[in-house]
Amino acid sequence: MSVIFRRAAAAGLGLAVLAAGLLPAGASMPSLSWTIQTSGTSESLRGLSAVDERTAWVSGSKGTVLRTVDGGETWTAVPVPGAEEADFRDIEAFGPEEAVVMAAGRPARLFRTADGGRTWTETYFDDSPGIFLDALAFFDGMNGLALGDPMDGRFFLLRTSDGGRTWRSLPLESRPAALEGEAAFAASGTALHVRGNAAWFCTGGAASRIWLSSDGGVRWEAVSAPLGGGTPSSGGFSVYFLNEKAGIAVGGDYRNEPADADNAAVTFDGGKTWAPVSGRRPGGFREAVAAVPEDPSSPAVTVGPSGSDVSFDGGQTWIAIGGPEGFHTLGFAGNGLAAWAAGRNGLIARLAFQ
């Protein structure tokens, strides 16, 4: 059980009560809020990896990489030499010392540090026409995938089996065929999600679909997702699974940030079918959704430029969280003791329970 629910239970609010929205007399629904932290930068931040309640990493434009080891009281820049113009759209951290950061666009580059960002090693470089990486995800401390937009009609996928020290492209038969105009969005580093040996990624543009692999990325199948699509700026932006069966996907149209149509969907069969949210939807276009890893009872949180929302029922109903606008990305610590969001103009905030 996540810390948020542990505190709610201590206040006399059980999980069933929270999920159903039924409160004892005199009790109020537990609320969440954001505490803004000083990042020391004004760059756009789109990658975030929360390790525990003290350690988190953030990445963004103009080669920005930040790290905290004191819960966000201080954020320290740990730049990658020679990558000052890189747009770091995702970062995956394994602790206070080890992290992998991904540069989108051309050239596509991946870097790894094992000493808290004091030094970085370039582990992948590709300057091919059309290359554009969207997201990273790790099954464990060694095995991971990187997702890229279609090249030659197929989504680009990289695999590592040594913690990001080396990467190899997947063979053509393991690269799913895209529809004309279909692509992934590198908005938050969360278009790709893994759990156990399963992997999912969401797309938009000409079609909004969610791709599923049950064998670690060897074979893929796609299903339609009710997340808009049909225009280059709309579709699915983020996907997350609470357990092997229950998942949430969010998105919308980044050119219409306040609109809440077609911005959230849920699945209860592992991603084989998706349905639009039938209850209250998130309050606008959303770029990231997440919860406490390996905790199916965790609340889910989604963020976007127009605000943020929380769901206590697996994504079927959403409640607005008060606080800043301008978020792009989101991450929960594995132990359930912390969550951060980051976004425009160097915005970083930590989630607080009230």
For residue 295, what pLDDT is reported?
Answer: 84
The average pLDDT across 184-192 equals 97
Between 56 and 27, whose confidence is greater? 56
The average pLDDT across 165-190 equals 96
The average pLDDT across 106-110 equals 96
HSE-CB of 203 using CA atoms within 13 angstroms: 28
The average pLDDT across 54-78 equals 98
pTM of the model: 0.91
For residue 311, what pLDDT is reported?
Answer: 96
pLDDT band, very low/low/confident/very high, at 354 (cuts 50, 70, 90): low
pLDDT band, very low/low/confident/very high, at 4 (cuts 50, 70, 90): very low
The average pLDDT across 117-128 equals 98
How many residues are recorded in the chain?
A: 354
Residue 14 has pLDDT above 80, yes or no: no
The mean predicted confidence, pLDDT, of the chain is: 91
- 303-342 pLDDT, tens per residue? 999 999 999 999 999 999 998 999 999 999 999 999 999 9
For residue 3, what pLDDT is reported?
Answer: 52
Residue 16 has pLDDT above 60, yes or no: no
pLDDT band, very low/low/confident/very high, at 31 (cuts 50, 70, 90): confident
Q: What single DSSP character describes residue 344?
A: G
Residue 38 has pLDDT above 60, yes or no: yes
Partner residues linked to 4 by β-bridges = none
Residue 17 has pLDDT above 50, yes or no: no
| Domain 31-353 CATH assignment equals 2.130.10.10 | yes
Residue 78 has pLDDT above 90, yes or no: yes
The average pLDDT across 201-211 equals 97
The average pLDDT across 247-258 equals 97
* Weakest-pLDDT range from 18-32, 120-134, 150-164: 18-32
The average pLDDT across 3-16 equals 40
Residue that the structure tokens 């090693």 belong to: 121
Domain regions of the chain by residue span: 1-30, 31-353
For residue 30, what pLDDT is reported?
Answer: 59
pLDDT band, very low/low/confident/very high, at 229 (cuts 50, 70, 90): confident
Residue 259 has pLDDT above 70, yes or no: yes
Nearest by Cα to 198 from 264, 243, 135: 243
C-alpha distance across the termini of the chain, in Å: 17
Phi, psi angle pair for 297, to nearest 5°: -90, -5
For residue 19, what pLDDT is reported?
Answer: 40
For residue 341, what pLDDT is reported?
Answer: 98
Percent of all residues in the chain with a pLDDT value above 90, rounded to a whole number: 86
Measured from the Cβ of residue 16, the count of other Cβ atoms closer than 10 Å reads 8
Total H helices, total E strands in the chain: 2, 30
For residue 294, what pLDDT is reported?
Answer: 80
Residue 10 has pLDDT above 80, yes or no: no
Please tell me whether residue 7 adopts helix, strand or coil conformation: helix
Residue 143 has pLDDT above 70, yes or no: yes
Task: Tell me how many degrees the CA angle 40-41-44 measures, rounded to the nearest 5.
Answer: 145
* Weakest-pLDDT range from 8-12, 40-44, 292-296: 8-12
CB 345 within 8 A of CB 60: no
